[in-house]
Amino acid sequence: MTGNEIYKKIFDEAFRYLRSFEGIDDNVISRHLNDWENTKPESFLDLYTEMLVSISNKRNMKNTIGPIENIRPYLEDFSPKRIVERYDGDWEELFNTIKNNYDPPGRMEIDNPRSYWVIFCKSIISSSDFFSRFSNLEEFDKFVSQFYLNEYTRVALPLLLEKEIFGLGFILACDFLKENGYPKFIKPDTHTKKIFEGTGISDSDSDYDIFKDLIRFCEDIDELPYRVDKLFGLIGSGHFYLDEIKIDTDPDGFIEKINQKIENGIFESEKNSIEENTVYPETVQVVDDLPPSKSILDKIRDAILKFLERFRR
């Protein structure tokens, strides 16, 4: 049995494991695995707002910042271009504007570099500068699609966002892309990393390496990364949030079961891992917008150069 076939068996086994719990069927699982269709922002301003939400998800920052909506008046209705025009890169001016007009749940200390408000204001300035380079949602979509080629180009985009946007970080950058209509990205969170390391799919504990290994896994079984990420995440958390269902999953037990099947050759003897009468949740295909003739390095270079050209205007 090839590695690809084993990967497919692991994916199918994950479905079977979740379906073994009362109240969990293919429809429940499918709703969560295809939820990306419902989360894509309708406008570019909505997308930028979600970036600010992603930044505020950093540790306990929300407890200090409060709801993002409360500072809309000082962020030009979340328009990145107008934020750039109003504050001209000055995070301290933004900080003082908010402090003078808003009573947040957490203290605002401009001289404390570790203050969440200092970090958040710097993040707003850098993120607005980045997003102001795009005219609309379609233009940003096209920019993202240039990174779809393989695991190396794919991982380059969250790394770029991490560098461009202060305080975002690689994991939050991955989560922003994955949860805002770009299902070919994943977030190597605790649950996914545990399963991938535990079953030997990845031999690294690095977020960077696990991201690439997860993308390879998805390509080998011809599955959308969002679906794979979500499936293993559900095994890890047991939280089916769309249906308000919480089940008591055992990730360690799942990993042990997979390893036993691999070691004992049980996957080899299984003709079909899912019953013939089971309706398998449909995989949604995402069309790549990539020219076919260029090399990998050319495509990475072109995508980044096109973005950097905006800073020279």
Q: Dump pLDDT digits (tens) for 166-221.
A: 999 999 999 999 999 999 999 999 999 999 999 999 999 899 999 999 999 999 99
Same domain, 17 and 49: no
Output DSSP code: residue 285. P
What Rg value do the Cα atoms of the chain yield, rounded? Answer: 21
- Look at residue 264 and tell me whether its pLDDT is greater than 90: no
User: What pTM value is reported for the model?
Assistant: 0.83
Structure tokens at 139: 């233009």
What's the CA gap between 91 and 239, in Å, rounded? 38
Residue 276: the pLDDT is 44
Whether 66 is in a domain gets the answer: yes
Whether 155 is in a domain gets the answer: no
Same domain, 25 and 96: no
Residue 128: the pLDDT is 98
Structure tokens at 3: 């590695």
Same domain, 50 and 138: yes
Q: Dump pLDDT digits (tens) for 127-162.
A: 999 999 999 999 999 999 999 999 999 999 999 999
Whether 205 is in a domain gets the answer: yes
**Region 34-44 average pLDDT:** 94
Q: Dump pLDDT digits (tens) for 229-256.
A: 999 999 999 999 999 999 999 999 999 9
**Domain limits at 61?**
42-146
Q: Dump pLDDT digits (tens) for 279-298.
A: 445 555 554 544 444 454 55
Whether 291 is in a domain gets the answer: no
Of the residues 120, 146, 172, the one at which a domain ends: 146
Please, are residues 45 and 137 in contact by the beta-carbon 8 Å criterion? Answer: no
- Look at residue 303 and tell me whether its pLDDT is greater than 70: no
Residue 254: the pLDDT is 97
Please, are residues 137 and 47 in contact by the beta-carbon 8 Å criterion? Answer: yes
- Look at residue 274 and tell me whether its pLDDT is greater than 50: no
Residue 290: the pLDDT is 44
Tally of domains within the chain: 2
Structure tokens at 51: 């970036």
Same domain, 12 and 52: no
Whether 140 is in a domain gets the answer: yes
Same domain, 109 and 127: yes
Same domain, 220 and 265: yes
The owner of tokens 């079909």 is: 272
Same domain, 71 and 15: no
Whether 59 is in a domain gets the answer: yes
Average pLDDT, the chain: 88
